[in-house]
Chains A and B, each alone.
Chain A
Amino acid sequence: MNSILVVAEILGDQISPVTWELLAGARQINSRLEAVLDIQILIPFHGSMDLGKDLAQQLAMKSGLDTRVLPCSRAHLRPALLKILEKINPAFILFAHTTLGRELAPGIAMALEASSISGVIGMDADQLVFFRMVMGNTQVQMVQPCDDLTCVLTLVPGAFGADGGKKADPGVDPGQVVMEPGFKPLGRPGVVRKNIVKQVCDNQSLTQARVVVAAGRGVGEKENLDRVVQFAKLFPASGVGASRPLVDQGWISYGHQVGITGTIVAPDLYIALGISGSSQHLAGMSGAKWVISVNTNPHAPICGHSDMNIIADANEFMDGFINKESLLNNVI
Chain B
Amino acid sequence: MPMKILVCIKSDSEGKELGQFEALALEAALTLKKSCLSAGISHSRVDVITAGPKESVDLLRRAFGMGADKGIHILTQTQSQYQNLVPASMTASLLAQAVGESAYDLILTGVMSQDLMAGQTGPMVAHLLDLHCATAVVKARFQGNTLVAERELDGGYMEKLEITLPALVSIQAGGYTPRYPTLSNMLKANGKPIVTHEEENFLIGVSREIFLGFKNPKKTRAARMVQGCLTEQLDIFHSFLREKHLL
Please give the residue numbers on chain A whose beta carbons come within 8 Å of chain B beta carbons, in ascending order.
98-100, 102-107, 109-111, 113-119, 129, 132-146, 149, 188, 190-199, 201, 211, 234-236, 244-245, 247-249, 254, 260-262, 268-269, 286, 290-292, 298, 301, 303-312, 316-317, 320-321, 324
Contacts and interface: CB of A to CB of B under 8 A. Distances in A.
17 contacts: A99-B154, A103-B133, A104-B123, A106-B118, A106-B123, A132-B118, A139-B215, A140-B215, A142-B212, A188-B164, A191-B132, A249-B177, A290-B246, A291-B221, A308-B236, A321-B237, A324-B234
B127 to A, nearest CB: 4
B173 A248 contact: yes
A196 B158 contact: yes
Interface of B: 12-13, 85, 88-89, 92, 114-124, 126-128, 132-136, 151-164, 167, 173-174, 177, 207-227, 230-231, 233-234, 236-238, 240-241, 244, 246-247
Contacts, number: 241
Nearest to B240: A308
A91 to B, nearest CB: 14
Contacts of B223: 303-307, 309
A107 B123 contact: yes
A102 B118 CA distance: 9
A194 B160 contact: yes
A104 B88 CA distance: 15
Contact of A312 (B119, B127, B219, B230): B230
A142 to B, nearest CB: 4
Given A116-B120, A305-B220, A311-B225, A245 B12 contact: no
B240 A190 contact: no
Contact of B210 (A146, A306, A308): A146
A145 B153 CA distance: 28
A291 B122 CA distance: 36
A194 B214 contact: no
Contacts of A104: 123
A298 B223 CA distance: 10
Task: Provide the main secondary structure of the chain A interface.
Answer: mixed
A164 to B, nearest CB: 19
A149 B234 CA distance: 56
B230 A261 contact: no
A134 B124 contact: no
A103 B134 contact: yes
A134 B116 CA distance: 5
Q: Which 10 A-B pairs have the closest CB atoms?
A: A190-B132, A106-B120, A304-B219, A142-B212, A107-B127, A106-B123, A139-B214, A194-B160, A107-B123, A192-B162
Contacts of A111: 127
